[in-house]
Amino acid sequence: MSPFQLKETMVTAIAEKRQKSVVASAQLVAADKRYKILQTTMKRHQLQADALIEVLHKAQELFGYLDTPQLKFVAQGLKLPPSRVYGVATFYHFFQLKPKGRHTCVVCMGTACYVKGADKVLAGIEEQAGVKAGETTPDNQVSVLTARCIGACGIAPAVVYDGTVTPRQGVPEARKQIKEWMSHGS
């Protein structure tokens, strides 16, 4: 094969690969409205690579968590290597690569909450839910998470139930909430 032919073959191969991913992305957009919104978000940022974190925020907002198809879609859209997108998504705690339960309970483990017994509250919640922090109950009802500090130190210990910051949580209150969520399932 002459160098010229070799180059031709390579160019065709790359073009095919590229076309395949473009088609795949277009199919996603056509099939799922959320991908269309995600695409609009990327376009609003002029498909700039530095918008990656913003775009991942949006994707997580739309899908609840980040799965491989979404990450691939973003990589294709922003013209980034997939490894870069995955690397960024796993660097930041906020991005979830696994689906969350129907309810989430975030225990603040900041210093102020810690000295006021957040560790005991977390232990109580973990026991009640039967899973460790960072996990979701098998029935997909409750995800137990921890936060580094939600900045609500004045009302420590604080727990965020489904997005609502709740002040001065004791073990009994926390257990009660988890129990209620878990019994509402199935």
User: Where does this chain bind other proteins (CB under 8 A)?
Assistant: 17, 48-54, 56-57, 68, 71-72, 80-88, 90-95, 109-112, 114-116, 147-156, 158, 164-167
In this structure, the chain runs to a length of: 186
State which residue, 66 or 182, has the beta carbon closest to other proteins: 66
Whole-number minimum distance, CB 170 to other proteins, in Å?
15
DSSP line for 116-136: TTHHHHHHHHHHHHTS-TT-B
- Structure token pair of residue 5: 């032919």
State which residue, 167 or 185, has the beta carbon closest to other proteins: 167
Burial class (CB in 10 A: 0-12, 13-18, 19+), 123: middle
State which residue, 55 or 182, has the beta carbon closest to other proteins: 55
Whole-number minimum distance, CB 108 to other proteins, in Å?
8
d(CA 76, CA 31): 17
Whole-number minimum distance, CB 151 to other proteins, in Å?
4
**H or E stretch at 168:** none
Whole-number minimum distance, CB 61 to other proteins, in Å?
11
